[in-house]
Structure 1
Amino acid sequence: MSLFRRDPVQIIAFQSYGTDTHFYLRGRALEDESIDLEKQGFFSLLVNSWKRMESDEVKNAGISIQLPDGTVLRTKSDNHGYFKVKADLKGLKAMANEEGWLACEVSYKDDRIKRSIQNRNRFPAEILIPSSTANFGVVSDIDDTILHTGVVSTLKWRLLYNTLFKSAKMRLPLEGAAAFYHLLHRGKSGENVNPIFYVSNSPWNLYRYLELFLRQNDFPKGPILLRSFKDILKRKTEAEKPQKQKEIIDLLNTYPELPFILIGDSAEQDADIYLEVAQQFPGRIKAIYLRNVKHEKKLLRVKCLLEKNKTTPALMIETSEQAIQHARENGFIA
């Protein structure tokens, strides 16, 4: 995007996470494509899908983040419109609500862009600072773990169809998943406020779509951790870890006193990633739950991995009720 065009602009701040002394926020500066996430109908859905994928970024723009106590942080968007802010501060937990969410505001701090903004230059942002009552954190995959996607269909045609031609309101969660996650969120006491983090291989372009899906289907609120298109298309070295694995490791390093429960499925690499993380962080992973996606070859491979596993409890599940029963027997939930 040219900074001198008078197109409407926006900032989408991705729900992120931090600690009492560490502020961390990600987001993206974009042209406002006026995507209506509530619209139905084949043509409207096709247009909205195109707008999500063909987003026009605002490059190299000055951005300001204001915290509730008046603290102001500054950064710039990169050549793809993404920005990231990390800062060591004090007393952040005191500014968060009972669920651990710290609200702040993001705005453009760039005279070239301010000229093109008519009325709005204040955009909401939040980071999650886990409560001191949390006993563990939860990391959950999204695709075919809580959301039917069809990732194992031939040439992934069902995944493409569901993403392009179904609105977030039309998408179906896996039965019982939201109830299970609320039990995990409340924990053994019923009031633990355990943090939930959602990870996916989807691009950040689908952030608002997935956020709406989680909200519409009453999943506990939590940061959604995705990846950029440039990372999806980039050729990886053999030694490079998947983005999902990097995100989980970042969480474990950010909260060194907090154990985690990992939830995924048997469709892709979740079993490989989760078991390797459990080996790398002994004693930090309380349990691994993997949903069976009904693909015989993939299921057999995952079962072989689980049979060799001696590190942490890992369970292949057919239903949410099986996971609830295991979590209850092991004292994770009431």
Structure 2
Amino acid sequence: MIRRIKKLLGRYKNYEQILIMPYRSYATPHHLYVYGRLLDNEPLKIEQEQNFFKTVKNTYKQFDSFEIPEEKILLQLPNKQEFVTQTNKEGYFLFDKKLNEDLAEYADKDGWLDVKLFYKGQLFAKTKLIANPFKGELLVPDKKAEFGVISDIDDTILHTGVTSFLKWRLLKNSLFTNAYKRIPLKGAPELYQKLAVGLQESSKNPMFYISNSPWNLYEYLKLFLDHNHFPKGPILLRNIHGPFDTTLKPEKPHKQRQIINILNNYPHLNFILIGDSGEHDASIYTDIAAQFADRILCIYLRSVNHKKQMQRVKGIIDNFETTPVLMVHNSEEATQHARENGYII
């Protein structure tokens, strides 16, 4: 509490611990994109058998973040090449660099490249450096990939209750339920595993996970995906702006910007888009399909039990002919369509 008061008064300067939180991201053979955050927080520890009170405590810790602004972060590649950037006022940092060397040469058999991150700011007498270096992961999609998959998380593979009255189920599921206890929508892990394999085991189709959830839930969602055996992929969340934030808001929604960025980074790759009918995925995905008519193989929208939303979505997709759009009630319907269209075995 004392730290929080000092921070609000602008008098909190001596950091207690340094935590670099790199988010799973992606790269091309000659272009890397590393996003993360610098925090004065301990690493989050989510335990499989933790009680309700520990879960609530972890939830509080996820949002009670002490960002470290305007400090330098050094990124080191496996070939020892280094880059330096600075965190913004909310502690976020971004490395967006083009390279001459082929990053794929340093990736493992699944296309993942490890990078090292070092804190280059001032260490005080009582400052604890959580790790040195910190490790980040980048996906360099395999050249043999048949297609890529870009998927929403909320109510697409993870039931959140986003359409519930006053979103109370969303709050309960996201804030008061252990990540180990969250159950994926039936058949979703198996469907995504099949899409990652495609028609041949050597294809290694890349998976990208996008959500409107805040970056504060990154560790929670990463644990959910890994624990339930979803194919490993970049996780792209968003920064939630406070009520007094005067930063100019982007013209396009978060999901739309992220998807377009992925499409532009991999111009040789076609994609399958997966979302749900509960939010704005239908309008965002069809807009993107109209822009990239020859790049979007199909769109799967998981049906949610919300009559007005369903009517709105049907109004969008019924006359959309650029790309096949399938409203699915379960993973089996998407699996059957993918098999019939030659995307999976």
Which bin holds the TM-score, normalised by the shorter protein? over 0.9
Tell which deviates more after alignment, 266-275 or 181-190: 181-190
Q: Distance in 2 between matches of 1:160 and 1:233?
A: 23
2:154 counterpart of 1:111 = no
- Structure 1 residues 231 and 100, CA gap change in structure 2 (3 angstroms): farther
Tell which deviates more after alignment, 24-33 or 170-179: 24-33
User: Corresponding residue for 2:307?
Assistant: 296
User: Corresponding residue for 1:155?
Assistant: 166
Letter in 1 for 2:51: G
- Structure 1 residues 241 and 161, CA gap change in structure 2 (3 angstroms): same
Q: CA RMSD in A?
A: 2.1
User: Corresponding residue for 2:337?
Assistant: 326
- Secondary structure class of the residue paired with 2:168: helix
Q: Distance in 2 between matches of 1:307 and 1:237?
A: 35
Count of matched residue pairs: 334
Correspondence for 2:85 among 45, 65, 75: 75
- Secondary structure class of the residue paired with 2:208: strand
TM-score (norm 1): 0.95
User: Corresponding residue for 2:58?
Assistant: 48
User: Corresponding residue for 2:40?
Assistant: 31
Q: Distance in 2 between matches of 1:129 and 1:141?
A: 20
User: Corresponding residue for 2:3?
Assistant: none
Tell which deviates more after alignment, 268-277 or 98-107: 98-107
- Secondary structure class of the residue paired with 1:229: coil
- The Cα of 1:239 is off from its aligned counterpart by 8.9
- The Cα of 1:118 is off from its aligned counterpart by 5.1
Q: Which deviations, in whole Å up to 9, do the C-alpha atoms of 1:160-210 show, x marking residues without a partner?
A: 011111011010100110110011100112321000000000000000100
Q: Distance in 2 between matches of 1:34 and 1:20?
A: 31
2:213 counterpart of 1:214 = no
- The Cα of 1:32 is off from its aligned counterpart by 2.2
Q: Distance in 1 between matches of 2:145 and 2:121?
A: 40
Q: Distance in 2 between matches of 1:297 and 1:309?
A: 19
Q: Distance in 2 between matches of 1:238 and 1:108?
A: 29
Report 1:1-334 matches (<5 A): 4-38=13-47, 40-89=50-99, 90-112=101-123, 116-117=127-128, 120-230=131-241, 240-334=251-345
Q: Point out where structure 1 has 5 or more consecutive residues left out of the alignment.
A: none
Q: Distance in 1 between matches of 2:193 and 2:243?
A: 31
Q: Is the 8 A contact 2:75 2:117 kept in 1?
A: yes
Q: Is the 8 A contact 2:18 2:129 kept in 1?
A: no
TM-score (norm 2): 0.92
- The Cα of 1:20 is off from its aligned counterpart by 0.7
- Structure 1 residues 115 and 191, CA gap change in structure 2 (3 angstroms): same
Q: Point out where structure 2 has 5 or more consecutive residues left out of the alignment.
A: 1-6
- Structure 1 residues 152 and 132, CA gap change in structure 2 (3 angstroms): same
**Amino-acid identity (%):** 47
Tell which deviates more after alignment, 107-116 or 38-47: 107-116
- Secondary structure class of the residue paired with 2:241: helix
- Secondary structure class of the residue paired with 1:325: helix
Q: Distance in 1 between matches of 2:196 and 2:229?
A: 12
Tell which deviates more after alignment, 302-311 or 176-185: 302-311
Q: Distance in 2 between matches of 1:151 and 1:118?
A: 38
Q: Distance in 2 between matches of 1:328 and 1:232?
A: 47
Letter in 1 for 2:86: K
Q: Is the 8 A contact 1:190 1:333 kept in 2?
A: no
